[in-house]
Structure 1
Amino acid sequence: MTIALPSRPTHVLLDLDGTLTDSAPGVLASLRVAFAEIGLPVPDDEHLRGFVGPPLGLSFHRSGLTHEQAEAAIEVYRREYEGGGMLDNSVFDGVPELLTALADVGVTRVVATAKPQPYAEQVVRHFGLDAYLSGGIAGVFGPAMEGAGNHEGKEKVIARALAASGGDQAGAAAVMVGDREHDVRAAAANGIPTIGVAWGYGSPGELEEAGAAVVVGSAGELRGLLTA
């Protein structure tokens, strides 16, 4: 089901990986080491890019790993990611300008991500994106560190972000911005629409099929849509 966009959003929730930052280089490098070290064939990059965004344990299970294999892979992945992969990353063109424009028109800006919150906060701080968020680093919402069998669904992260930022109050008009189907579905579970971004890691048609209200091709187009 597609939820229509409000005419004037008051709260914008932004995904991190694939929406604000291009985290794929560090994520893919860490995944390659994880698969190799636990003795499994390393999938091609097209498959590995599907890991960027959803909860990590869920992605390993979808790749056919047993619970024990997934736990081992997550341990190796974290070692590699924390050792440098996390910051093999960059901010997409136009993102600072987008966040500045949202601030200028009084829109509340928070991050709602499936990346574990400790990682998300480090990435946001490293690139100075906290300066553009409502509440600074307190405007970053993500799940706790996960294992292979436990992860907080993104719908719960979005619910927390909405509650903390006032986006669930009467009169608020909240919008999710993300690049993957789980962004769209988690937002819909909270009764809010999603603007999909085409520069992220979703496959062709993924966002539309999930029910995104609209898909934009650049941060400039997104800025115009949200601040018109």
Structure 2
Amino acid sequence: MTRHYNFFIFDLDGTLTDPKVGITNSIRYALERLDIKEGDESRLVKFIGPPLLESFCRYYGLSDSRARQAIDYYREYFTNKGIFENQVYDGIRDLLSRLHKHKCQLVIATSKPTIYAKRILKHFRLHGYFDLVVGSNMDLTRSSKSEVITEVLKFMPDSKGKAILIGDRADDVIVAKAYMIDSVAVGYGYGSESELIAAKPTYTIRTVGELTRLLLGFAEI
């Protein structure tokens, strides 16, 4: 039996938009300011999704204070340039429009700072589809996906059993399970196939077209 959902919680990077150019350019800029040269772009791509502080420490062995300095440098580039080196995946605008017409509640839940997420949505004229946008704070608090979802659910008291989370990384799926929320893992983003399989999402899709058919099926019942 097909489920029916009223609340659709979307990750942003790698799910609705492809931020690869802007994020990797911003990371490269930050590393260069720290006199770190990185020629392997695959290492930079790993920063798409997880909190920046965690990633700078994990992938470059930076201390907490140096990682925070790296984030300041990252923002020097990202705030006015990297943020717009981004593009909406083909088909996403149509999907959001159709869900919106079905009176579904659409939410953004991202580890990216809320202020950046809102600017991106407004730039691409997607902001009108969303009832709520929750991200991290600029002081690096509320940066984990778990903390973000905790905040989202404060605004959705009637969502139990009616919400589904859509994202491209294992962390999206793991957090959804922790809150007893069904999940959709999208295979066109930046999570590897192996990490998504291991996370065991409720549903898995490979393309935006498949995602559209799946979510509209949930909304139209």
Q: So what's the TM-score if we normalise by structure 2?
A: 0.91
1:69 positional shift: 2.0
Structure 1 residue identity aligned to 2:87: S
Alignment check: 8 A CA contact 2:7 2:159 kept: no
- The residue that corresponds to 2:168 in the other structure is 179
Equivalent in 101, 104, 115 of residue 101 of structure 2 = 104
Measure, in 1, the Cα distance between the counterparts of 2:65 and 2:143: 20
- The residue that corresponds to 2:135 in the other structure is 142
- The residue that corresponds to 2:41 in the other structure is 45
CA separation of 1:73 and 1:46: change in aligned 2, threshold 3 A: same
Measure, in 2, the Cα distance between the counterparts of 1:36 and 1:112: 30
**1:31 paired to 2:22:** no
CA separation of 1:167 and 1:96: change in aligned 2, threshold 3 A: farther
**1:203 paired to 2:192:** yes
- The residue that corresponds to 1:76 in the other structure is 73
Q: Deviations over 1:63-97 (max 9, x none)?
A: 11112321221111010101300011111100011
**1:162 paired to 2:162:** no
Q: Deviations over 1:141-185 (max 9, x none)?
A: 1111144xx55321121122233134535xx41100000111111
Secondary structure at the residue paired with 2:159? coil
Secondary structure at the residue paired with 1:47? helix
- The residue that corresponds to 1:17 in the other structure is 13
Alignment check: 8 A CA contact 2:113 2:135 kept: yes
In the alignment, structure 2 segments of 5+ residues that lack a partner are: none
Structure 2 residue identity aligned to 1:221: E
Measure, in 2, the Cα distance between the counterparts of 1:173 and 1:211: 19
Q: Deviations over 1:24-54 (max 9, x none)?
A: 1000001001111101232511111111111
**1:61 paired to 2:57:** yes
- The residue that corresponds to 2:129 in the other structure is 132
More displaced 10-residue stretch of structure 1: 39-48 or 17-26:
39-48
Structure having the larger proportion of residues in strand:
2
1:103 positional shift: 1.9
Runs of 4+ in structure 1 over 6 Å off: none
Secondary structure at the residue paired with 1:165? coil
Alignment check: 8 A CA contact 2:142 2:148 kept: no
**% identical aligned pairs:** 36
Q: Deviations over 1:117-160 (max 9, x none)?
A: 11111111111111222x3xxx111111144xx55321121122
- The residue that corresponds to 1:221 in the other structure is 210
- The residue that corresponds to 2:143 in the other structure is 152
The alignment of Structure 1 onto Structure 2 pairs a total of residues equal to 216
CA separation of 1:164 and 1:151: change in aligned 2, threshold 3 A: closer
What's the C-alpha RMSD, in Å, of the aligned pairs?
A: 1.8
Secondary structure at the residue paired with 1:12? strand
Measure, in 2, the Cα distance between the counterparts of 1:66 and 1:151: 20
CA separation of 1:69 and 1:26: change in aligned 2, threshold 3 A: same
